[in-house]
Amino acid sequence: MSEVHANGLRFHVQRLSPPADRPILRTPVVFLHGLVLDNLSSFYYTLAAPVARAGAEVVLYDQRGHGRTERPRDGYDPGSSVADLVALLDACGVATPVHLVGNSFGGLIALRVARSRPDLVASLVLIEGQCLDVAADTEPYAGGWVEEMANTLNLAALGLAAHPGPERLPAGPARKAARLRAGADALLNGTTLIEDVTLPCAPTEAELAEVTCPVLALYGELSELAPSARRLAEVLPQCTLTVLPGVAHTVLREATAPVLAALLDWLPRHEPVAVRPGAGR
């Protein structure tokens, strides 16, 4: 069942189940990917299979407008993304709290779910998750990640509009780049995504203080989000921050092994307590 209808949209969902002979982790793990060029494949090829093999039920989906999920014209704001997730979990029959693993913008959505629907969340794992809008000292402008993201997305949108791609997709190796380009163009120039994700976006410190579940925060030493992450760890009631040396925002891709190790260490330590092994399911 790779197509799931939820919140009025057709979502591309992939679920991986643990092998029958493994100790079962009772809390499902749900992965939330990042914006525009990202989709569930970045988790599918890195963390998802090892997590399933370690004993957890895994749910991955392409968020609205991304990957193989439908691309409506609007509804890309974090609130709608939370509504998508809640509806999707319901449609998938997931009835227990889950671990939410969010990469980049997926981390922002995860934080929002933890605040607005704490009953659904056992823990958060933020991989370079966008959070507090703290400006880095090294940047040449006053804004934090919200301004930088808005600039990047608007610049990309202008570039894509100014240089239209071929009418028909080419065959062979050029096809992949052309498809990627067409997808980004449709999302940035054909939907309300840019205004939706940049206008209302960053949570305040007071809002983050309401996130009561345990949070594992994994950030790159060289990321522009590093100052946000340090402040996040001070503001969140239960936060474990790990800074990965030598990498920037692309932690998931470039530091896959340490991220996976941290996740596999985290999950069994954040299971619901007082359950005999094998008593569930």
Partner 1 sequence: MSADPHADRILAEVAGMLAEIVGEELLIAAEITPDSGFDDDLALESIEFVALAGRLQERYGDRVDFIAFLADLEIEEIMAMTVGRLVEHIAACTRAEAVGGAGR
Q: Which residues bind partner 1 (CB under 8 A)?
A: 1-2, 12, 14, 16, 19-20, 39-41, 44-46, 49-50, 52-53, 62, 67-68, 168-169, 171-176, 179-180
Is 142 or 257 the residue whose CB approaches partner 1 more closely? 257
Choose between 2 and 204: whose C-beta lies nearer to partner 1. 2
Residue closer to partner 1, measured from CB, 180 or 275 = 180
Element (H, E) at 243: strand 239-244
Tokens of 160: 């894509």
- Residue pair 156/4 in contact (Cβ under 8 Å)? The answer is no
Min dist. Cβ of residue 120 to partner 1 (A): 24
Q: Considering the complex, what minimum distance in angstroms separates the CB of residue 267 from partner 1?
A: 15
Smallest distance from partner 1 to CB 66, Å = 9
β-bridge pairing 9-16 and 3-6:
antiparallel
Phi, psi of 175 (to 5 degrees): -60, -40
Nearer Cβ to partner 1 (173/278)? 173
Q: Which is nearer to partner 1, 79 or 268 (CB)?
A: 268
Name the packing angle between helices 174-190 and 145-162 (round to 10°). Answer: 110
Token pair for residue 115?
Answer: 């605040």
Which is nearest to 10 in space by CA: 54, 76, 63, 59?
63
What is the closest distance, in whole angstroms, from the C-beta atom of residue 256 to partner 1 in the complex? Answer: 9
Please, what is the minimum distance in Å from the beta carbon of residue 106 to partner 1? 15
List Cβ neighbours of 276 (8 Å cut-off, separation of 6 or more). Answer: none
106/189 Cα distance (integer angstroms):
21
Residue 87 · residue 58 · CB < 8 Å: no
Q: State CA 55 to chain mean position distance.
A: 21
Output 226 or 262, the one with its CB closest to partner 1: 262
Q: How far is the CB of 181 from partner 1 (least distance, A)?
A: 12
Query: Minimum distance from CB of 22 to partner 1 (Å)?
Result: 10
Cβ-based nearer residue to partner 1, 67 or 97: 67
Provide, rounded to whole angstroms, the least separation between the CB of residue 128 and partner 1: 18
Q: 242 with 268: CB under 8 angstroms? A: no
User: Are 7 and 87 in contact, with CB atoms under 8 Å apart?
Assistant: yes
Burial 245-259 (b: 16+ CB within 10 A, else e): eebbbebbeebeeeb
- Which residue's CB is nearer to partner 1, number 40 or number 114? 40
